[in-house]
A and B are shown apart, each in its own frame.
Chain A
Amino acid sequence: MMALDLSRVAAVVRKELRDYRRKRSIVVGMLILPAIFLIEPVLFVFLGAPDPVGDPSYRAPLLLLLLIPVITPSTLAAYSVAGEREQGTLEPLLTTPIRQLEFIIGKAAAVMIPSVGLSYLVFGIYLVVVRLFANPVVAAGIFNEGPMLLALFLFTPLLTGWSIVVGMAVSVRAGEIRVAQQLGMIASLPPLGVVVLMVTGVIAPTFTAALVFAAVLLAVDVLALRGISGLFDRERLVTGSKASRP
């Protein structure tokens, strides 16, 4: 197992966050989507009919909130390699002692931190709005969806992880940032199927189901991360073709 130099990982994270912060389209893109996805759940708080507890419609806003950790990171992750390539910084970066895994983890962490932070922030805002302004029956209905809330809490970083891995894989292969972002976003959506099944009641939303699917998602993330590490071979990144060893 090769050693991981955390200072190099930290250097990549710091640089990426600085770079994102100064690119207006990234900042605006990151903020607009969560804001849009927050509208419907908040409207539901004010307009939702105070129906009996257990009505699946109480879960629908949670599905929207889980779109945030899927879509937000895919945009950033798609930028991770394609962006470096487009501005000609990839080769100088690869000539440094940074290891493949440090590069991947640094890039992934730099996407993970703002994406998960933003997702939890929106999640928190939603719950605060529910607590403060919702009809008590509606509020009770939402807070009674314990398994869904647990799923929301656990799935957020895991869906983000999946989205990042997919986005980075697309980013390596894509010629342009825009293409990478579009493909990355589409390719990130399939795991949301689990959430849809829970929201619609096809899979009973229990604590056990939330924990099991979280474990499955975690395993998928780890396997996917291992799967894409081969794509980050220096020769492949620089020349576009796989290294031919003597």
Chain B
Amino acid sequence: MSKRVAWRKIWRKDSVTTEQPALVVDHLTKRFGDRTAFSDVSFEVAQGEVFGFLGPNGAGKTTTVRTLGTLIAPTAGSATVAGIPLTRANGVEIRQRISVMPESPGLYLRLTVAENLEFFAGLYGVRDVRSRIRDALEAVNLAERSGDLCGGLSKGLRQRVGLARALLSDPVIMFLDEPTSGLDPVAAREVHDLINVLRHRGVTIFLTTHRLDEAERLCDRVAILNTTLRTVGRPTELRQQLFTSALVVKTVGPLHDPGLLFKATPGVLSWRADDAGAYVLSVSDPRVAAPEVARALVGVGADILSISEAQHSLEDVYLELVDEDVEARKR
């Protein structure tokens, strides 16, 4: 059976019929004595959304996941997880609808892969355990290793077993903490593909990751946490919020008087030359400014190599926000 066919078999998601958000977090705070793990955090995650949760070490990401996973109780605020209010009394019901894959998969090393999954299937009350385990293992391309002791598996393979375990219960929300940590690029790509298939099946993914390229590629929206929530939004929106638009102009040779030229060009706010000899122009609207810049360059007889819109990565956004916090702390 092909892997893709197996992926399609494993999860239902015919139950996702309402437009109610999968996760609603409202002014949630967790303190341990005098130490604040996270404070006043609010966001919503729609059903079927892949939501990236980013932040530096100690920012409160894991504590947030533990709180939403009903492992620890919030100090203040409220949340609704998979449509159920986050209260102590609702813990079992919430945990029945979610699955959490911690960064370290936490497998019983003296048990086989299948025995590990069988144990968790028992705890979730999964029916038709054998076929469910087979499908979960096929989804992570591990069906042939089901009889292997987990202690004999590489870190990457253990990570995949952890992922198979998270799939077993057909969860509405999956909390994945660094799911590609320790995986080689091919295995990481398979996990990304799997996350995409899950998204299309309506499973909500709450992805905690340090890999900003991964977040940018996979996530519909991201949140950046640094004890308080610094921002939430689509990566493109965040880039627009934080950075002014820019054009990168490359010419065959250096311009005679770029200052005079760009100052006189409509739509250009400021300019600088970068290390590679290109000119980076801050512009109000790239679609308006680019033709004006092209005309101005042609007008002074410059040989144009390229004019392109500068792309800020999610990493730029992340570093900008986290650096702001570092600077604020210094002050």
List residues of chain A with CB within 8 A of the CB of B106: 87-93
A8 to B96, CA, bound (A): 13
Give a binary string over A195-212; 1 marks a CB under 8 Å from any B CB, 0 the rest: 000000000000000000
Given A19-B110, A23-B110, CB of A97 within 8 Å of CB of B104: no
Interface size of A as a range: 20 to 34
Please pick, from B71, B101, B102, B104, the residue contacting A235 in the complex, using a CB distance under 8 A.
Answer: B71
* Minimum distance in angstroms from A158 CB to a CB of chain B: 29
| A235-B73 in contact given A87-B108, A99-B92, A244-B31 (Cβ < 8 Å) | yes
The stretch of B52-60, B115-123, B233-241, B250-258 that contacts the partner chain: B115-123
Contacts of A226 in B (CB 8 A): none
A5 to B93: give the CA distance in the assembly, Å: 13
In the complex, the answer to whether B125 meets A238 with C-beta atoms within 8 Å is no
For the complex formed, measure the closest distance between the CB of A92 and the CB atoms of chain B, giving whole angstroms.
Answer: 4
User: Which label, helix, strand, loop or mixed, suits the secondary structure of the B interface?
Assistant: mixed
Q: Quick one: which of A49-104 are within 8 Å of B by CB?
A: 87-99
Q: Mark A5-36, 1 if CB is under 8 A from B, else 0.
A: 10110111011001100110000000000000
Which of B102, B115, B125, B165 is in CB contact (< 8 Å) with A97? B125
How far is the CB of A3 from the nearest CB of chain B, in Å?
9
A241 within 8 A of B: yes
Q: How far is B120's CA from A90's CA once the two chains are assembled, in angstroms? A: 12
Assembly CA distance A7 to B93 (angstroms): 16
Task: Please tell me if the beta carbons of A14 and B122 are within 8 angstroms of each other in the complex.
Answer: yes
A245:B73 contact, CB within 8 angstroms: yes
In the complex, A243 has a CB within 8 A of chain B: yes
Q: Does A234 contact B (CB under 8 A)?
A: yes
Counting CB contacts under 8 A, is B321 at the interface?
A: no
Measured between alpha carbons, how far is A90 from B71 in the docked complex, in Å? 11
Choose one: A5, A89, A91; the contact of B108 (CB below 8 Å).
A89
Interface flags, B280-306, vs A, CB<8A=1, else 0: 000000000000000000000000000
**Chain B residue at smallest Cβ distance from A98:** B123
B266 on the interface (CB 8 Å rule)? no
Contacts of B92 in A (CB 8 A): 97, 99
Question: Which positions 70-93 of chain B face chain A at CB distance < 8 Å?
Answer: 70-77, 88, 91-93
Does chain A have a CB within 8 A of B99? yes
> In the complex, are the beta carbons of A235 and B72 less than 8 A apart?
yes
14 new A-B contacts, CB < 8 A, other than A93-B106, A95-B69, are A18-B110, A87-B106, A89-B107, A91-B102, A91-B106, A92-B100, A92-B105, A92-B120, A92-B162, A97-B93, A98-B123, A238-B66, A238-B71, A244-B31
Chain B residues close to A by CB (< 8 Å): 31-33, 66, 69-77, 88, 91-93, 95-96, 98-102, 104-111, 115, 119-120, 122-125, 162, 165
7 tightest A-B CB contacts, nearest first: A11-B122, A22-B110, A95-B100, A96-B123, A92-B106, A88-B106, A15-B119
